[in-house]
Amino acid sequence: MTRVEANASRRQTERLGTDAIAPLVMRLSLPAIIGLLVSSLYQFVDRIFIGQFVGEQGLAAMNAVQPLATLLFAFTLCVGRGGSVIYSIALGRHDYDAARRIFSRCVFTQFAAALALMTPTLIFLGPILGVCGARADAFVPAREYMSLIVLGLPFGMFLMSNHLIRSEGASTYSMISQVVGAVTNVALDYLLMSDVVGLKMGVRGAALATVASQGVSAAMVGAFFIRKSVVRFKPRECVPSLDFLKRVIANGSTPLATHLVMAVTWTVQNRMINQFAAPYTVSAAMAVFGVVMNLNHLMITPMLGLAMGMQPLVGYNHGAGKTGRVRKVFFFSVFAAVVFTLIPFGVLQIFARAIIAQFGLRGDTLTLGASTLRRYLLLMPLGGMGILFSHYFQGTGQARKALLLSLVRQLALALPFMLIIPRFFGYAGIVFAFPLSEVCGTFFAAWMVGRELRIKN
């Protein structure tokens, strides 16, 4: 990169502290929202193809592997989000030497963590899936799928460098890398799972498509840091210091804890389905919940994208000492999140049956799926707001408060609700347990943020 190009990249990053709030939040958030929506197609399309070409047992298997997939994703987020917070603050202080060291060490840590996770997961994959709720016919396809996903973990880890790209203000490029990966995934799903070329690989085809498409996106992320970034990878600076690891873990502890507890909650949910699915079959209930949870993630994606667009802005301006600007960024992001979330919420409520049918579910299972989707999503527009509050504390470097919010929402509320409510209300209790815990968590988070803003006034 020439000096002129480097200065241009720095000026783009420095606009995070000077441009008008609303256009800036939207400029960073919209690509993140689009990228996340398209990225969500990884699981969304996998489930559609699995439902169409494998059937109900395949969908049940996908729900059974989700706790393990969430567990692995937790560690990738810890490095990606934790690194992006301290990266954003370094950029806000115009300390580009520190930013370069952070980037180099993040890359090394991502690959080291991937290798450390792969071996024990593959060795104990069978028992882990049993604990996660894989039963009977769903066990074999669940094992086939996850064994390939685990082998592709280095790609998934490196993809978290997308958070660093957004921290530089280049959210459009981040979005494009996700879009290209998702489109590749759709094309490969069709080729590997259908009979168009005679492969018909079932869930193994879905897993191969996911890993290959992640590889394509990872290559684009690498190309950004080679050609466009304000920093360059320095091998001599890549070995992380103890202080660096502490800072990354501290700032990444919230998404780590959130997803670790989410994995536990999903495991408990699967086991409660096995226990309280009646009058429906366990296979049908497992298949339905896998689809519903995927659609729930799709619905809250706009809120998550706004939170991800907000976080580097909060981090940059916090690092620059612009407290009033941090407050304005937060309030506008909350307003935009409410507006953006109501659109997918309305679509999923109105067209629930038609959407569920796309996953190959038929008859009573289709009816169960539509009913479960409408009820499960009923409280989530409010419950999902906790995501924004958590990202606010992450962006300002207050990792302990962000972690507290996560633990209250996911541990102190979600687990007891999931364990207790179904014992009184059966299957309906499983449907409402998590949404109720999210709403209670949002009220607690709103109180914490309100208290924070009053103190700063």
What tokens were used for 438?
């999210």
Of the candidates 184, 142, 113, 183, the residue with the CA atom closest to the CA atom of residue 50: 142
What tokens were used for 188?
């490969």
Of the candidates 451, 452, 450, 437, the residue with the CA atom closest to the CA atom of residue 406: 437
142 close to 61: Cβ distance less than 8 angstroms: yes
400 close to 318: Cβ distance less than 8 angstroms: no
For the chain, 457 residues long, the average pLDDT of each consecutive 10-residue run is: 57 68 84 75 80 89 92 87 84 84 87 91 94 86 94 89 80 84 89 82 91 92 86 83 88 80 90 92 92 89 86 81 83 86 90 94 93 92 83 81 81 90 94 91 88 70
Q: What is the DSSP string of 393-441?
A: HHHTT-HHHHHHHHHIIIIIIIHHHHHHHHHHHTHHHHHHHHHHHHHHH
C-alpha to C-alpha distance for 262 and 287, rounded to whole angstroms: 19
| Structural domain total, the chain | 1
Strand, helix or coil for residue 379: coil
* Direct distance between the N- and C-terminal alpha carbons of the chain, in angstroms, rounded to an integer: 43
Peptide bond just before 31 cis, omega within 30 deg:
no
Residue 153 confidence (pLDDT): 93
Contacts of 295 (CB under 8 A, 6+ apart): 348, 355, 373, 377
Q: How many CA atoms lie within 13 A of 341 on its CB side?
A: 26
40 φ, ψ (degrees, to nearest 5):
-65, -20
241 φ, ψ (degrees, to nearest 5):
-85, 165
C-alpha to C-alpha distance for 158 and 109, rounded to whole angstroms: 10
What tokens were used for 1?
């990169």
- Domain residues for the domain of 135 are 3-456
238 DSSP assignment? -
What tokens were used for 446?
């709103």
Look-up of token digits 């509050």: 389
Measured in whole angstroms, how far is the alpha carbon of residue 122 from the centre of its chain? 23
279 φ, ψ (degrees, to nearest 5):
-85, 10
Q: How many CA atoms lie within 13 A of 354 on its CB side?
A: 5
Residue 166 confidence (pLDDT): 78
Look-up of token digits 């395949």: 58
259 close to 70: Cβ distance less than 8 angstroms: yes
Work out the burial of residue 428: count CB atoms within 10 Å of its CB; fewer than 13 is exposed, 13-18 middle, 19 or more buried: middle
Largest CA distance in the chain: 68
Contacts of 293 (CB under 8 A, 6+ apart): 63, 66, 266
| HEC profile of 47-94 | HHHHHHHCCHHHHHHHHHHHHHHHHHHHHHHHHHHHHHHHHHHHHHCC
Residue 275 confidence (pLDDT): 92
Q: How many CA atoms lie within 13 A of 29 on its CB side?
A: 27
